[in-house]
Amino acid sequence: MKRVGLFIPCYVDQFYPNAGIATYQLLKKLGLDVTYPTGQTCCGQPMANSGFEHLTGDCNQLFVDNFAEFDYIVSPSGSCVLHLKEHLHTEKSEPQAAAIRTKVYELVEFLVDVLQVKNLKAKFPYKVGLHQSCHGQRGLLLTQMSELVAPYFSKPQQLLAQVEGLELINLKREDECCGFGGTFCVVEEAVSVKMGKDRVKDHQANGAEYITGADMSCLMHMEGILKRENSNVKVLHIAEILNAG
Amino acid sequence: MSTTAKTHPELSEVFNKDEQRVNWHDETLWWIRQKRDKSAHSIPEWEVLREKASQIKNNALSNLAEYLVSFEEKALANGIIVHWAADAQEHNQIVHQILQKHDIRQLVKSKSMLTEECHLNEYLEKQGLEVIDSDLGERIVQLAKEPPSHIVLPCIHKKKEEIGDLFHQHLGVAAGTSDPQILTEAARVHLRETFLTRRAALTGVNFAIAETGEFVVCTNEGNADMGAHLADVHIACMGIEKIIPKRKHLGVFLRLLARSATGQPITTYSSHFKKPRAGQEMHLVLVDNGRTVQMGREDFRASLKCIRCGACMNTCPVYRRSGGHSYHYAISGPIGAILAPNLDREKYADLPFASTLCGSCSNVCPVKIDIHQQLYKWRQVIVQEGYATSGKKMSMKIMNYTLSSPGVYKTAGKAGRWVLKYIPFAVNNHFNPWYKQREMPEVPKESFGEWYKKNVK
Ligand code: SF4
């Protein structure tokens, strides 16, 4: 049986363990041999996106040491996965790093493209808004982008459609960025928050009870805004919905 | 606007003080982005056209020297007087000298972002010359003594009431007028007078054709034609990257330009200038101003493919909510943020960070510039060259130390969820910017790692 290494990004590990647990349980339910290498920390993206890619060497090496042995590496975070695919390099173990770049998957991508899941048996009877995180959508091509003249598809929608009782709401702006953007959220606080407020408003205006997505970081940003507004709308990582019921 | 605020975050914070204005700015530009989408989707071969345009531009850049020489040769044969300017200063001097030679003290200009880049207006005004921008939007910002905030929609940040006030002050319309029809009419009368009395006209150049030595100027108001046709002296200024090899390539760009810019099928006027009319003098100034340096930077060279349609600004969620002036450079938005650091890394060190790297800009760009990838690359260059703040450097070092060692990471995580402080909010070692308008995530009892240890292994 192929072995799956579970990569739980640092902020999910520390703040949103439930998203990690749901990912783990979901993969187990689907009959996979899943291991969480306990020596892992982070993919290095926060440093690289801030212009400090040159400092990520040790972090990258640690990642390779933890994950080189697996057939697949799966993670519930589009932006971390995209970062690994585009920028994971090491001095010592470049062949292993190169292999990891091709076998690391974001969870939705893994479920749809590799496992080709058609029948999830999940239940979530609520109105849900889907936030398309940019790195997942435009980087990993989880969903067609509204700017391109090309046929529409959406991998997260394909999965959410298998969830019993779930009603996916429409949004006015289908794939607008939420403004999280890694360190952008503090360096550009004013614009980041305004983007987040607008994003959240679109979901609220269309009756969402939950906002979900394949990137916990965007959800964390929107959750911060929702809570400040005392809104009833909640955020849940897509793994938690796909694992519900 | 505060004069001490200089960086993009500071300037956008000021812009965001008026949330209604931000909403309106965002919605107006989004409306244009939707018009662009509709227009693009009406052409099934849109993506093929983008690819063609990109390839033509790649070819033009790869053979730039050859095309420029051929262009100059043809242009000279057509009777155009050709000048070369190494930088902004030289460009301004050349224009000034042409005007001096004819003893002309007033210049009517049609929109040209290159002259904005070179600060031509300021320069000529210092020499005692009068410059009138003839594009309506440009004229409005000129009256307000502001630079344009958008390359296609220069006064998109201004509401019609504010324009009414300006016209009341400068053009004598009644106080409190905000009817666009009346305002446009007032501007038209004022500009007509300008066109009829100015002896020199300056236009930009959208495309210069190496094969024929002619150039094309696209406007919606016909103001370039009016200026150029009525003036004794026509000066056209262009960046050297505006060259396209052949006339037949023009169709590709004209189909893409207006659709990307405003959603129109084509700009109202696409005027071809090939030779001066009898009795007229036609000058063309070819400007480098950092372009050959950018050509030499492999990672950033593609930024020179830009045809200045403005689509990347309209689609950019950050631009829409921060306004063009927050970029403090002649060309704002995503493309400005990759062009500006070429000219001055220190002054524009903030701009490549004014993005979430969402990638929408690269997708709308009609010539397929990898804008968001270049933003990422500029960040690396800027940090490597030492333009990051010391707080940021320190927090990155701490982050690296922590993340490179599972032991340190776990201890730090336990000790009050260390990550709260540093990830992904890794700047300045304090958390305030997050908390200002957002709640913190609730801290869970245990991390995923701890759960796993207990429940699985
Ligand atoms: S970078 Fe592309 S989208 Fe932006 S103005 Fe230039 S051509 Fe248009």
Q: What is the pLDDT of residues B230-256, one digit of tens each?
A: 899 999 999 999 999 999 999 999 999
Among B261, B211, B228, residue whose Cα is nearest residue B366: B261
pLDDT at B425: 46
Among B262, B275, B193, residue whose Cα is nearest residue B234: B275
CB distance A43 to A80 below 8 Å: yes
Kind plus residue range of the DSSP H or E element containing B225: helix B223-230
The whole-angstrom separation of Cα A41 and Cα A70 is 17
pLDDT at B134: 86
B311 lines ligand 1 (CB under 6 A): yes
pLDDT at A47: 80
DSSP class of A42: -
CB distance A112 to A119 below 8 Å: no
pLDDT confidence band for B317 (50 / 70 / 90): very high
Complex ipTM value? 0.94
> What pTM was computed for the model?
0.93
The whole-angstrom separation of Cα A90 and Cα A82 is 17
pLDDT at B92: 98
B312 CA from centroid of ligand 1 (Å): 5
Contact residues for B90 (Cβ-Cβ < 8 A; gap 6+): none
Phi and psi dihedrals of A235, rounded to 5? -110, 145
- SS3 label, residue A219: helix
| Residue from the list B12, B413, B419 with its beta carbon closest to the beta carbon of A188 | B12
CB contact under 8 A, B322 and A191: yes
> What angle, rounded to 10 degrees, do the helices at B448-455 and A17-29 form?
40
CA angle B182, B187, B191 (to 5 degrees): 150
| DSSP string across B346-398 | TTTTTGGGS-----HHHHH-TT---HHHHHHHHHHHHHHTT-S-HHHHHHHHH
Work out the minimum CA distance from B334 to partner chain A, whole angstroms: 15
The whole-angstrom separation of Cα A245 and Cα A16 is 19
Structure tokens at A24: 């783990």
Work out the minimum CA distance from A72 to partner chain B, whole angstroms: 19
- Evaluate if residue B429 carries a pLDDT over 50: no
Percent pLDDT > 90 in chain B is 71
CB distance B396 to A55 below 8 Å: yes
CB contact under 8 A, A17 and B451: yes
Kindly report, residue by residue over A73-131, the tens digit of the pLDDT: 999 999 899 999 999 899 898 999 999 999 999 999 999 999 999 999 899 999 999 99
Q: Among B242, B301, B306, B362, which is best to mutate for testing ligand 1, by the most ligand atoms less than 8 A from CB?
A: B306
Name the residue type at position B301. R
A81 CA from centroid of ligand 1 (Å): 28
| Residue from the list A59, A135, A180 with its beta carbon closest to the beta carbon of B403 | A59
CB contact under 8 A, A62 and B406: yes
pLDDT at B321: 97
Rg (CA), chain A: 17
Kindly report, residue by residue over B156-200, the tens digit of the pLDDT: 999 888 999 999 999 888 888 889 899 989 988 888 888 778 899
The whole-angstrom separation of Cα B52 and Cα B411 is 55
Structure tokens at B448: 């995923």
CB contact under 8 A, A51 and B382: yes
Work out the minimum CA distance from B20 to partner chain A, whole angstroms: 11
Identify the weakest region by mean pLDDT among A132-146, B79-93, B176-190: B176-190
List the 27-66 stretch of B: residues with Cβ below 8 A of A.
30, 37, 40-41, 43-44, 46-47
Structure tokens at A234: 């909640």
CB contact under 8 A, B356 and A38: no
CB distance A180 to A189 below 8 Å: no
B312 lines ligand 1 (CB under 6 A): yes
Which of A53, A65, A189, A228 should we substitute to test contact with B (largest number of B Cβ atoms within 10 Å)?
A: A189
CB contact under 8 A, B396 and A47: yes
pLDDT at B432: 67
A220 CA from centroid of ligand 1 (Å): 32
Contact residues for B410 (Cβ-Cβ < 8 A; gap 6+): B449
CB contact under 8 A, B363 and A180: no
Structure tokens at B338: 């990759």
List the 308-367 stretch of B: residues with Cβ below 8 A of A.
315, 317-318, 321-322, 353-360, 362-364
CB distance B113 to B308 below 8 Å: yes
- The residue in chain A having the minimum alpha-carbon distance to the alpha carbon of residue B431 is A186
Atom of ligand 1 nearest to the CA of B309: 8
Sort out which chain B residues have CB atoms less than 8 A from A21's CB and list them.
Answer: 448, 451
DSSP class of B25: H
Sort out which chain B residues have CB atoms less than 8 A from A51's CB and list them.
Answer: 353, 379-380, 382-384, 388
Kindly report, residue by residue over A36-68, the tens digit of the pLDDT: 998 887 878 878 888 888 888 888 888 899 999
CB atoms within 10 A of CB B444: 16
Q: Tokens 């987040």 belong to which residue? A: A196
Name the residue type at position B58. N
CB distance B217 to B110 below 8 Å: yes
> Positive or negative, the Cα torsion across A198, A203, A209, A215?
negative
- Evaluate if residue B82 carries a pLDDT over 60: yes
Which of A4, A8, A10 should we substitute to test contact with B (largest number of B Cβ atoms within 10 Å)?
A: A10
Contact residues for B56 (Cβ-Cβ < 8 A; gap 6+): B244, B245, B249, B252, B253
Structure tokens at B68: 């420029």
Percent pLDDT > 70 in chain B is 90
